[in-house]
Amino acid sequence: MKILVPVKRVVDFNVKIRVKADGTGVDLANVKMSMNPFDEIAIEEAIRLKEAGKAEEIIAVSIGPQKAQETIRTALAMGADRGILIKCDDEVEPLAVAKLLKGVVDAEKPDIVILGKQAIDDDSNQTGQMLSALLGWPQGTFASKLELDGGKARVTREIDGGLQTILLNMPCIITTDLRLNEPRYASLPNIMKAKKKPLDEKTAEDYGVDITPRLKVLETVEPATREAGEILATPEDLVEKLKTQAGVI
């Protein structure tokens, strides 16, 4: 079985982002970048499936600038077998990403695609669902548990009311939630080995996909500064504030 895992290069989750002075976007100058945390979970799950003898090959694919190969190398150091970088210097919207991934799927013929439910930079939460629609494959989104058996995938999903378990025919699309696993750290020997693993470079033109943006960002602003709280003496004072100021009761 072959597993395809898309990984995205994003601003590290520990970094406090800054908005550009002209409001055109986030300032990425001299900012630490890393793999999207949900994609790390996807890579870890693929590796665990391989370690359990349920998969033979893991392919990590990323769409972005040349520096995105660092993200792929991280996936290779964790345990992926080879990588594919689709070079795009401009921001690529979810629909274009899904179309590019469809091209990779058509070429590689994986049995399952595992990807993060969303990227922490744009929080779109769209790519997995769009890829499922383009391929006509079943999807299990927000997965907190994944079991493969006999050409089927049993997926436990995080939903508002608790958990939902669904059974999918493979090939299928899985998007990962936080509780699925805890990603491993790449060891130094594996980091060195990752430098020798194959990494192919492609372009959007190779897959015949138009990545021209369909959306335009009008303005980016910093979030409002949080106001100081107020300590109340009694529960009655709290109820009064909720009535007269907050208007919630």
Q: If DSSP states are collapsed to H, E and C, what string results for 174-214?
A: EEECHHHCCCCCCCHHHHHHHCCCCEEEEEHHHHCCCCCCC
pLDDT reported for residue 19:
87
Residue 155 carries which side chain, given as an amino acid letter?
V
Neighbours of 34 (CB within 10 A): 17
Q: pLDDT tens string for the chain (249 positions)?
A: 999 999 999 999 888 888 888 887 888 888 899 999 999 999 999 999 999 999 999 999 999 999 999 999 999 999 999 999 999 988 899 999 999 999 999 999 999 999 999 999 999 999 999 999 999 999 999 999 999 988 999 999 999 889 999 999 999 999 999 999 999 998 999 999 999 999 999 999 999 999 998 888 888 888 888 888 888 889 998 998 888 887 777
Measuring CA to CA, which residue among 84, 87, 70 is closest to residue 211? 87
Residue 66 structure tokens: 């040349």
For CA atoms 158, 47, 185, 6, the dihedral sign is negative
Claim: this prediction has a pTM higher than 0.95: no
Domains of the chain (ranges plus CATH)? 2-246 (3.40.50.620)
Residue 127: partners with Cβ closer than 8 Å, 6 or more residues away: 6, 94, 97, 98, 101, 115
